Amino acid sequence: MVADIFKAVYEFVKTIPQGKVTTYGVIGKKLGINPRVVGYALHSNPEKRVIPCHRVVFKDGSLAKGFVFGGEEGQRALLETEGVSFSAVSKVDASCIL
């Protein structure tokens, strides 16, 4: 059961285009699960080059301190290479959030 939920999260995250992000809450709402479960799934990402978990942020545009592939700095670097812009307070620019 948990494996099916995680798989659904991974499949959804694969649909987020480069240069855009979405939130844990949006994914949770679309899949009918708690946003924390989305976070647990992404923290266990088995294929970081295939499943772009760095494209998932908090609802206010802030980054995950516990981002498994390098913390906030690692997540920001990956997003910036894809053209995601940030506000002066280091949050993803609202125009990049789906």
Tokens representing residue 84 in the block? 């995601």
Low-confidence ranges of the chain (pLDDT < 70): 67-68
- Could you give the domains of the chain? 2-96 (1.10.10.10)
Helices 35-43, 2-13: axis angle to 10 degrees equals 80
Q: Half-sphere exposure of residue 47, counting CA atoms within 13 Å on the CB side?
A: 9
Give the residue numbers annotated as catalytic, written as ranges: 53
- Threshold 0.85, pTM exceeds: yes
Average per-residue pLDDT for the chain: 90
Tokens representing residue 25 in the block? 């809450």
The DSSP code for 98 is -
Q: What is the pLDDT of residue 67?
A: 67
Q: What is the pLDDT of residue 95?
A: 79
The whole-angstrom separation of Cα 74 and Cα 1 is 31
CB 77 within 8 A of CB 70: yes
